[in-house]
Amino acid sequence: MSRDQNYENFEVRGEVPQARFGHTITLVNKTKAILFGGATGDTGKYSITGDTYSLDLLSKTFTRIEATGTSPTPRAAHASTAVDSLQMVIYGGATGGGSLASDDLFLLDIRNGERSATWMIVPVVGITPGRRYGHTLAFSKPNLIIFAGNTGSETINDVWTLNVERSPFAWAKVEVTTSPPARVYHSSALCSTGSASGMMVTFGGRAIDQSALNDSWGLRKHRDGRWDWVKAPYKASMTPTHRYQHTTLFIDSLMVVVGGRTNTVGESVPLEVYDTESSEWFRFNSVLRFRHTCIALDSALFVHGGFEHETPNVPTGKMLKIETSRLFKENTILAPKGKSSPKPEPRPLPPAPEEKKSTISVVSNTPDRGNPLQNIFINHLLRPTEWNTPANARFGFRREHIFALTEECENILKSQPMVLRLRAPIKIFGDIHGQYADLMRFFDLYGSPSEEKKAGGDLEGFDYLFLGDFVDRGSHSLETICLLMALKCKYPDHIHLIRGNHEDKWINNAFGLSDECQVRLGEDPNDPKSVFARINRMFEYLPLAAVIEDKVICLHGGIGSSLETVDQIDALPRPLEVIHEVSNDLQQLVVDILWSDPTDSDMEIGIQPNVIRDPNGTGNIVKFGPDRVKDFLAHNGLSLIIRAHECVMDGFERFAGGDLITVFSATDYCGRHKNAGAVLFFKKNLEIKPKLIYPVDNPYGSNWIETEESLKKRPPTPPRWRNTDNRKKSYE
């Protein structure tokens, strides 16, 4: 013990972090805390870190966390807070060299243990508080609150909140009539008991003129939605020390201020306590640290890192324990209150749209599957009865969120085979082509890929298979592909995606996706770091086929001239780039699977030229006759081929005496053909039932290729009835 027996060394073991300053330690449950970031070395030559550790206060053990997902960049002088048990968020900070961290909100989830920890960027729409350091972040349910800091050019005093019960998440700037002076390196803590309960209380900091502050302000929200600041009154008997780079915590209704420094170099800075009930300050000799961090467990405070006043240029790695019950025992006013205030029940971050009043939680311990990123995409996009985004509207998710979702989806695809083996019952969708309104209509009328039965979800009864061509032509390719990726990530064994000919950078660069990314994301699709490029890299890992119940093969185009066995597809390498100027058998096989069509009728057998898709007569894209279909099925022990790729007027069409079915899900293809769309219900007894939707007036825009001149350059493939004189109706 030292300094009047007021604190003691807290000896830790395990993977002990390097000495550092400007980091955070956040209590995420009763006995576990998370350390993130900070700077190591001395102030003349320091290194910014981005490492993460957990600390078990009972066993005194640090464990280094190697989390998956999108991790924050290394940073110091950032801010963090817990939002639920075993989960926390961080925002802002400095990255060194005068640069600041991004304005993303990062979430760490360790509910499944340190070995399964996950970082992610919380999807936020609209404006943000912007880049800053030396600010504070608190959670007063249901709001995250950011206050003040420095933008790199000025010290500020703005307040931003994010209501975690509204989706999509959005920051809102709080407008108040009276505000605390601008400051940086201050502290904020949430009071949970007494007259200040529910208030975020801010203390001290460094002002615009570099002077240290000693004022306290409480931020509260009224029932009518107004926010206001209240300056804390001080009794004249004692005023607190002006300080910055300190920490504050609440123990019961007592605000405890630990460490920091003043405008006088080397000045001893006491531990001070403010009683929010009596407005009195009390002073104690204790820890002398600054740029440290602090957490509380019951009546004990734990101080980690920072600089000691005796060595202000070299950070310490020591952890100290301050037992406030011992510290306050001689004080008749504080002693009865020197117990840790009960933490309020944390509010999870539910992403469900407010209008639906969903109870799905993004960062709670509810049984809802999936991680926060998946859930927010799904809850924002899977809204069959409410979706109404106009064409060309700014896409509601930031590039970073799409990157993280795409990476997660790609990792799942890598773990699955090139030919999926699936079971019935299952729904099979044909081309969607960015016609998101049609997809929502199918989900509204015939059930959606959700576990919410009351909302029309039928995922407990059906898997879902999508046969490619998710993008291009239609005006909402981003909604389509992002929802499908999110569903694939959340339900990897129930949502199945296979590749179409438009899941190809050479095709979707010309037929819509590229244009949409440029207009709706404001990016250059030619940039290798663009969303357009990242999604196309993911496309190269999509499977090319699925076999259902060992009887039915599903692929996008067909069997062409070269596909003889399912094993040929299984053997294809990934990542797989489609080569259109075919020079070997493997390239021809891929083109056959993605591009070939059945002949125009059962009367045309063998391999025929595909004049529509191959106007130059290269012979790479062909049509295959009913004899090829029957031979392929017999050779592989299969009974049926289901494919997409062609617009058919009734939404589905049979070929080869019923041994092949074409399904097409986009209605009124390119706004020209007035065709129906279909989804196939493949039942457990192998019965197939088509469900149809018909063209409707689309107020949200139909496609990116609307002018006659554009259609001449990029014409849609004509529906099969235009190529077939003696075609039988699909129901005959």
673 is catalytic: no
Rounded to the nearest 10 degrees, how much is the dihedral formed by the CA atoms of 431, 432, 434, 435? 140
Residue 432 in contact with residue 466, Cβ under 8 Å? yes
| Residue 324 structure tokens | 């406030």
Residue 253 in contact with residue 245, Cβ under 8 Å? no
DSSP 335: G
CA distances from 699 to 351, 387, 438, 566, 703 (A): 27, 12, 12, 43, 12
Q: Among 247, 239, 185, which residue's Cα sits nearest to residue 212?
A: 185
| Residue 559 structure tokens | 């069997």
| Residue 633 structure tokens | 């099925």
Helix H, strand E, coil C: the string for 470-503 is CCCCECCHHHHHHHHHHHHHHCCCCEEECCCCCC
Q: Which residues of 375-404 are buried (b: 16+ CB within 10 A; e: fewer)?
A: bbbbbbbbbbeebebebeeebbbbbbbbbb
Contacts of 648 (CB under 8 A, 6+ apart): 662, 663, 664, 675, 719, 720, 721, 730
Choice among 292, 304, 494, 502 that is catalytic: 502
> How many CB atoms are located within 10 Å of the residue 238 CB?
11
Contacts of 45 (CB under 8 A, 6+ apart): none
Residue 195 in contact with residue 276, Cβ under 8 Å? yes
Distance, CA of 310 to CA of 295 (rounded, Å): 23
Distance, CA of 332 to CA of 104 (rounded, Å): 46
Distance, CA of 263 to CA of 709 (rounded, Å): 71
Which positions are catalytic?
A: 502
